Amino acid sequence: GVNEWQVCEALARAGDFDIFLLAGRYTLLEQEALDTFLPLAEARGIGIVLGGPYNSGILATGPRKGAWYNYNRAPAAILNRVRKIERIVTSQGARLAQAALRFPLHHPSVVSVIPGAASPKEVALNVRTMAAKIPKALWRDLKAQGLLHRAAPVPK
């Protein structure tokens, strides 16, 4: 597994692969991989197992003080973006962690998501989080506010 989609893209262009393990980089906060890598993976039939769907925690905890983003304390710009996302998510009756865990799976190349779990209790929480119903309007609203990439696949 790798932390950068650019490495996966370079490898996909250089050889034949069935699957990549990519830590984050296609989340509610990061969707640049939609520009080149994910279309390439889809065209080549490469599956993506996505680790780190919470971007080191902030998409599970929300924009609280001391929140983690990509292995560091979240900067103000990320905290503000997460606040905007969370506002829309909660207005639709969902939780931020639910949307974060489900979002990557809407892309046809993402075959699995690996959320972290430090205990059996967290495993059970992940199962409940994944099973939650998410209104389709949530995704529409995030796109309308420019918080999701225009090409991000979402339910209609």
Question: pLDDT per residue over 11-62, tens digit each?
Answer: 999 999 999 999 989 999 999 999 999 999 999 999 999 999 999 999 999 9
Asked if residue 108 lies in contact with residue 42, where contact means CB atoms within 8 angstroms, the answer is: yes
CATH superfamily of 5-144: NADP-dependent oxidoreductase domain (3.20.20.100)
CA distance 25 to 12: 16
What is the β-pairing status of strands 72-73 and 110-114? unpaired
Helices 5-14 and 37-44 meet at what angle, rounded to 10? 40
What is the β-pairing status of strands 47-51 and 110-114? parallel
Asked if residue 37 lies in contact with residue 8, where contact means CB atoms within 8 angstroms, the answer is: yes
Burial of residue 28 (number of CB atoms within 10 Å: 0-12, 13-18, 19+):
buried
- On the question of pLDDT at 117 being above 90, the answer is no
Q: What is the DSSP secondary structure assignment for residue 27, as one 8-state letter?
A: S
CA distance 122 to 79: 24
Question: pLDDT per residue over 118-130, tens digit each?
Answer: 899 999 999 999 9
- Tell me the two tokens of residue 66: 């001391």
